[in-house]
Chain A
């Protein structure tokens, strides 16, 4: 099965707190890609990061950081010093090849609310 689990449905933090969003995936493939997207209330999905299965190096981009651990099939996302503008739904997704082409399977999303 090609599956993504985001166990946290909703998280609420106060501004400037750090917050980690969990993502656990299942796949039989050795080559796959993992993504994080942000969906603010306006509705548009904003691409945040892509990670391929051969690259376990963690990545930092400003206040965002990602921890990819193949041993635990996890690809967690941390926001440092959260801001109100970070309030959105965050989706983790698994991209993989099927017989017909490729597909992007999304987790159910984590709704993050950052309050002043």
Chain B
């Protein structure tokens, strides 16, 4: 299995809802990432997990809560989102971490989130 999967593909939620995005990889990668991409913009890094520990949190609002239950799974819990949070949320994984040279990131197809 050489891919990163993300569910759901599309999600529409109200501002009072609680939902979760899921990402999974079975490549044995040790680092996993969440990115947010607005239309016609580049992806922006949100969180990095390295060996299941949060290593980078790019000052993301607390209404986004990441979770890494194990090395293959990465969740993003959403609560009380705003319409401006509507975007494509991309998950990625990479083989190495720290100073490892195996740092190319493999991206999932993304979840397109709409907040009403």
Contacts and interface: CB of A to CB of B under 8 A. Distances in A.
A91 B42 contact: yes
A100 interface: yes
A47 B56 contact: no
A11 interface: no
Q: Which of B33, B50, B90, B107 has the most CB of A within 10 A?
A: B107
Interface string A95-110: 1011011111011110
B54 to A, nearest CB: 9
Contact of B48 (A35, A45, A50, A102): A102
B103 A95 contact: yes
Interface in B80-108: 88, 90, 92, 97-99, 101, 103-108
A33 B41 contact: no
B103 A108 contact: no
Interface of A: 33, 35, 37, 42-47, 50, 52, 91, 95, 97-98, 100-104, 106-109
Interface of B: 33, 41-45, 48, 50, 55-56, 88, 90, 92, 97-99, 101, 103-110, 112
Given A33-B103, A102-B97, A106-B43, 12 more contacts: A37-B107, A43-B109, A43-B110, A44-B109, A47-B105, A98-B56, A101-B50, A101-B55, A101-B97, A104-B105, A107-B42, A108-B42
